[in-house]
Structures are given as structure tokens and as C-alpha cells.
Amino acid sequence: MKKDIKIAVIGQGYVGLPLALAFAQHYPVIGFDIKASRVDELTRGIDLTKEVDESQLSVSVVTYTTSGGVKGYKPSTDISDIADANVYIITVPTPINQFNAPDLSPLKASSKLVGSVLKKEDIVIYESTVYPGCTEEECIPVLEQASQLVFNRDFYAGYSPERINPGDKVNTLETIVKVTSGSTPEVADYIDELYRTIIKAGTHKAPSLKVAEAAKVIENAQRDVNISFVNELALIFDRLGIDTRDVLEAAGTKFNFLKYKPGLVGGHCISVDPYYLAHKAIQVGYYPDVILSGRRVNDEIPVFIASKVVKLMIQKGIDVSRSRVLLLGMAFKENCPDTRNTKVAKIYEELISYGLTVDVYDPWVNKAEVMEEYGIEVMTTKEELSHPKDVTCDHRFGKNTQCYNAVLLLTAHGEFKELDVFDYLVEQGVVYDAKAVLDRGIVDSRL
């Protein structure tokens, strides 16, 4: 293996950027992304994902010559900048399509791009979440065809699954044990040592790429199934007229009770990865009942929340067809701008289908990205929240604008915990708390 390392990290999102900056403290690193606007932001020291300290980003962005072995980071959209790299790390998204089947197009496109500059002795490491066997079955053939090189003779591969938790400033890249693997024993050792330079928590070397792929996909499938259990409990206990959180608190007093909470399961991992494992299971002749039943339950929760709020409004004598509703939160999790696969969008659609007018407020998210992805106009400032468009509201007691017949807290941003929902709620309006963070005395129902 080559000792003079130059790394190209393909994809500069939630996974690729922190990884590139960590390696840039030791090696020259190119952060490659096909999105010019993203590279322009990074070049100016701006990270809209808020995953890295922008002061660190500004210091790390340098121009260097690899012959001098200068360490540092350079974002780029120019493929010529990665042509002389010898370690390529692919961190592109692996979404699902409208049929919940794996969409490997970003993975294959990035493999083709890397293959076009691949040289003898180079190593390609995949971090994107896939099903067991995907790297060798789908990605390696693309690399071979694009490069005209032979796998495990001319170039090598590894798989080291990402474990980034967006918005988490405690469990970060460096503090989470990293699973590594390589296509030969020697390459596995090399890749493991490479990651040990940046991972303070240490590494775990898996015996094969397929084992490492499987380990990653079951991490999130396990969480999905566990959350689906408590979500199903929430559906049952709602019919019984008891509070799910009270039941869980009581059950949690037993030493071996797993303290999962009900909630919206969105984001790029937990709500997606189980479908990758299910896809492979079905390919080999096994139908994964537990995994897919868990997915069905979790996908039902947005519909349940919307219908629950409408029922509460009707019980209070509110004319649903003439009502306006405020959703607090668009991001899929708290204190994070990530809106990928957010289930708030489904709640929005369901409420609209009932004839309600729906506004969304989230100070964390990117307004343009939400509009592009979901077609939803989000208010991101307190000024917008106090003066919604195209509506005449009551003003009373010197408070802010009171427009809404129902307020739903869907994302537990820190700002929302300090927000007085009655500043925006009409008299006898409905308060629904999907995160159980508001004072119980002011909410009509919670998940």
C-alpha cells in the first residue's frame, strides 16, 4: 500500500464533510461534491448542515500541493482535483424510491465517477448504507468497467459504515467506534489503521465487507422495530384512553425494560435502512415479517396524529373546514436542520386533505430546500410567525398574533420549549404534543 496518502471524500453532506475535515488534520483531502452551491458555501467557510464548527471549516480550507504532503481540506466540483488521490471514500446518499425499493443511482454514479480516475493500487472505501453484498455485487463491477482495472489485483475496496447522528454534538464521528473492513486481509489492516488516525473511540475490524454492511443495516432496523412496538402501544392506549408515556414510565421501573418512546420515524437512516435489508432478504427467498410490519406501524403514525387532531377539534366544536393549524417543526429531529424524509410532510398533507389551512414554523431549516423537496412554504423567523400571510387574526391582551385553531408540536427544538403556544392559539383551540415536552396541563393530547 502507498504511504503518501491523498484522500478524496465523495459527497460533502452530513457524513462526508465531518469525515473529510477529520482526515484533513492528518492528510491532504479533497471534498468532492457535484453540487456547485454546496462547494461554494464550504469554500467560504459555511456549513448549512451545522454538523461542523464553521471556524474549524475556515481554518481547514486550504490550497496545497500533494507533492509537499501538505495536510488540509479543499472542497471541489472538479474531477481533475481527485485524479491523483489514492484513497477514495464514497459517502453519497442511498435513498429508497416510491416503491420503498433501494435507489442505488447515486451510489452507482459516484462509483462510475471514481472509476474514471482510478489507478493501480488505489483503494475505494464505501460508507453509504447498503444491504449485505451490495458493494461487491453492484459497486465493484461499475468500478471495474469504468477503470478497466481488475478488482483485488489492480485496485482494492473496503466498507466502513457511517454512524453520523445529525445534530448530536456528544456522539460525534471521533467518539463512536468505527466498523471497518477490506477486500483482502492486507487491505483490511490498512483501512483499519487509516481510520484509527481519526477515531478516538477505536475501530472494530469486521471479517468481510458483507459483515460490515449487515452490521450497519441492522443497527437502524433494530431501532425501527423497537420504536414500532411503542408506537403500536400508543395506538392501542389511545383507544383505551390512557397516556402511553405514563405506561412506559411505570414499566420502565423494571431493570431490564427497554426505554424506547413513541414518535415520528423519519430521517435518512431508521426509516430507510430496513427496506434495504428487506430487499435483500426477499431476493434470497425470505419474507421479513417483523421488519416490514414495523415499517407499516411507523408509517401509520403521521396519519394517526392528523386524524387525532381533527377529532379533538370536532369535539371542541371547531369548524374544521374553516380552521387554521400551526405545525411547530419541519426537521425530522430536534436542534438540527435535516429535513430528509421528515414525517411532518405527511402530517401536513393529511391535514390539508381535511380542508384545513396549515402553516409550518421551523427556525432551523432551510426555507428554499423545504420548498424544493416538499413544496411547503415554511416560516423560519418569529416575525413571519407573528404575521402569517393572507389571514386576519385576533389581537388580544397585547400578545402576538392569535390565528390558529390548533397547534401541533412535532419537533422538539429548544426554541419550542420556551414558546408560549397560547400566543398563537385562539380560545378553545387544540394543543397536540407529539414529543411530550410541553407542560401536560396545557395539552389536549400527546403521543
269 classed as catalytic: yes
The C-alpha cell at 445 is 393530547
> Is the four-CA dihedral 311, 313, 315, 317 of positive or negative sign?
negative
Catalytic residue among 134, 139, 269, 336: 269
Report the interhelical angle of 209-240 vs 273-283 (nearest 10°): 110
Catalytically active residues are: 269
